A and B are shown apart, each in its own frame.
Chain A
Amino acid sequence: MIVGALLLGGLYLFPIWNITLEAPQYPEPIGMDIFINKFQGMNPNDIKNINIMNHYVGMKDIPEQIPEFEIFPLVTAGMIILGVLTGFIGKKNLYLVWFGLMVTFGTIAMYDFYLWEYDYGHDLKETAAIKFTDSDGEPMAYQPPLIGNKTILNFRALSWPRTGAYLMFLGMALSVLAYFQNKKEASNSSQQAQKAKEDDEEQYSHNVA
């Protein structure tokens, strides 16, 4: 459980999310890593170059600072402290509570990310040089996908979690595992013996393979 909580510390070191843009004239794709407290280009000038391209369709510049960059590090710190405390207390139900909180915060964060993306892709300057409409005649939006790949004009936008998020997922999984582990320790030893036997068989079949 404690390890699980500490894995959240990875959020301070590694990017959580990444949006990559691929296009024929960018044989080396450009993109942006989203950290807990900043946006950073995959290459030194990528954000500048994304802004240059996006200004033609009236999109705003990617901001250097947003309120989330203040809030998220605090929330994460809180969750790490909470998780470690929970681990020391050792009550299995508290593990589930912690997991539940993580899911809640994660969902809020994803929703917040979605809102920002929506605004970024829809709130276009009136004076945009290039105005495309979609098949319904509505002004085209340039919102990147929440998760997954999407074609936007000449670009293919790829939006996927990165190391920070994966470490977080692992941490959350560990908290659930800790919950079950704790539960199992309470159950009887014959079940454990049975499990051990299964494991041996598994090991044997591995060797055969």
Chain B
Amino acid sequence: MQIRNQIICCICAVTMLFIVGSCSQQGQTGALNSSLADRSYVAPGEHDEFYAFISGGYSGQLSIYGLPSGRLFRVVPVFSVDAEKGYGFNEETKPLLNTSFGSIPWDDSHHPDLSQTNGKVDGRWCFINGNNTPRIARISLSSFETEEIIEIPNSAGNHSSAFVTENTEYVVAGTRFAVPVPQRDMPIEEYKGNFKGALSFIKVDQETGRMNLEFQVMMPGFNFDLAHPGRKKSHGWMFFSTYNTEEASTLLEVNASQNDKDFIAAINWKKAEELIANGQFETIKTEYAHNVYEESTHMATSTMKKEVKVLDPAKYPGLVYFLPTPKSPHGCDVDPSGEYIIGSGKLAASMTAHSFTKMLDAIENKKFDGDAYGIPVINYEDVVSGVVQQAGLGPLHTEFDNDGNAYTTFFISSEVVKWKVGTWEVLDRAPTYYSVGHLMIPGGNSQEPFGKYLVAMNKITKDRYLPTGPELAHSAQLYDISGDKMELILDFPTIGEPHYAAGCPADLIKPNQTKIYELEKNNHPYAAKSDKEARIERNGNEVHVYMTMIRSHFTPDNLEGIKVGDKVYFHVTNLEQDYDVPHGISIIGANTSELLIMPGQTETFIWEPKKEGVWPFYCTDFCSALHQEMQGYIRVSGRNSNTPLKWSLDGD
């Protein structure tokens, strides 16, 4: 027994040593933490704490980064074709880019926003707007693929978009440019009083995420710049900043900067819902595309919609109020409590904070200063709660942390300024490099910001990186905001020109990842789900090749009987069911991109052979040790030849 006691004592002692040892290790890590490099360092093989979804601006896409490392993981193609991924080139995704103007290969993506439940980021979907040809896209955060794009009619310059309400009831999309509604041939100088500004409310199905343009509030012809949904107490309201309330159509830099105050428009969308439910709306004819990608068929379809429900705010008291806000406000941000609506007058040095409580009181007691096109304008003094004085030059956007602080970017003075919500005092300022536009704190526009980091997205790069000719990558900067002072810990280059971004803890997204598409659930009409189903079918000059791919061969890989003038559809199914084993395919002379096909997926490209001969095709993704052998031939015969249709793999 004594021996056993001794052993137990030894074990205890060793355990104590370990505990002491790990304590001193923690101490060391703490000391190292003071190094800036260490704070953005994510060791090889380790994962970042946060996802960042950064808009691509004129790239039209959405880039996925990790924070705090600033590493780029993926560029999700949204509004622009992407030959690397076959997006917009394969037959399955082409319908996603359809609009009432036909297919458009590009757009300008601005403001990603994440779906929320009870005002908290929930990691289901990311929404983002296309600015040029107004559209809203929904991206699945399981597959990181664009699943849906809806065009916004009666709109132009879809800028005050795509912002999500507390429970993802709606994604809103406000027009930047006022336009004639319906569009018609009329003199530009008759803009004033005749053009309209449509604010669109797109309802989101909570199960599928499917979007439906529920209604539009048809506002006067101002320019609607940015938007933010109410939070907590102000849930049910949507706030839009405006500029050009002067309704100028030319030399806006002067003519739209004359009014001392423009407006923040407060829309009571709960009221709007009531009106719609009571049938108090107008239905107007229009045309817009609604494009949906179905995961089970691996295929998108485009439907043209013909009408939209419209609400005229002048007709329905209580639907819209204007909050006078100095100097062409750009950013329109609501703090996590929902009490303060921050208007950043971009031509000013100060920011205006309106109070939601005061707004309701002013409405109740009719403290109005006239109206604009029948919409009541609330007295400035009766709605403003505070002003952040002389914080910097050219305030643009504000995000919040979880400690009651706000952070605003200043474009002209190139800095981020931290200030206290409620006391309006400036607490800290940090330079940016250079001329910062938007900023993002993970969850920083929601009821519950996650804090910790702040990403500043800059418009001007100049000397920050090794030069690459006249065109430079836009630069983002990462600040650690966990302490009293903001600390710049990382610079990283970005894709296109990021506008807004969204972020959330990786744990919200990682567990829901799609790793493969189950072959059994593949409902693509042209799928070949085993080598046995591989075949070729001819219908006149239209030829359908049902092809499969698996490490490391195509079935079939010898094809004969194709003729010059044929339209050959290659429907290629990746039979793999293992994570991260895509295969690609392309053929010499194909006038389209490769296909890059995920396990269990089917994609299609069209090849129209122009010359007789024997033409090779191959796997474009280094899939395996025998990737280089993954290849095949197609014999192309003359237009009038009698070569029979024949296909084989290894002679079978």
Contacts and interface: CB of A to CB of B under 8 A. Distances in A.
A193 interface: no
B5 A45 contact: no
B550 interface: yes
Given A45-B577, A45-B578, A52 B550 contact: yes
Given A129-B626, A130-B625, A48 B577 contact: yes
Contacts of B516: 45
Given A205-B1, A208-B1, 13 more contacts: A28-B579, A45-B578, A48-B577, A49-B577, A49-B578, A52-B550, A52-B578, A56-B625, A129-B629, A205-B4, A209-B1, A209-B4, A209-B8
B519 to A, nearest CB: 9
A23 to B, nearest CB: 12
Nearest to A45: B577
B551 interface: yes
A12 to B, nearest CB: 27
Contacts of A205: 1, 4
A105 to B, nearest CB: 36
Interface in A1-53: 28, 44-45, 48-49, 52
Give the contact-size bracket for chain A.
10 to 19
A207 B455 CA distance: 60
B4 to A, nearest CB: 6
A209 B1 CA distance: 8
27 contacts: A28-B579, A44-B577, A45-B516, A45-B577, A45-B578, A48-B577, A48-B578, A49-B577, A49-B578, A52-B550, A52-B551, A52-B576, A52-B578, A56-B624, A56-B625, A56-B626, A129-B626, A129-B629, A130-B625, A205-B1, A205-B4, A208-B1, A208-B5, A209-B1, A209-B4, A209-B5, A209-B8
Interface in B1-40: 1, 4-5, 8
Interface in B583-640: 624-626, 629
A49 B600 CA distance: 13
Interface in B511-545: 516
Contacts of A129: 626, 629
B551 to A, nearest CB: 5
Contacts of A209: 1, 4-5, 8
Contacts of B624: 56
A152 to B, nearest CB: 15
A75 B625 CA distance: 44
A56 B550 CA distance: 12
Nearest to B45: A27
A5 to B, nearest CB: 36
Nearest to A48: B577
Rank and list the top 3 A-B pairs by shortest CB-CB distance, nearest first.
A45-B577, A205-B1, A49-B578
A45 B517 CA distance: 12
A16 B601 CA distance: 35
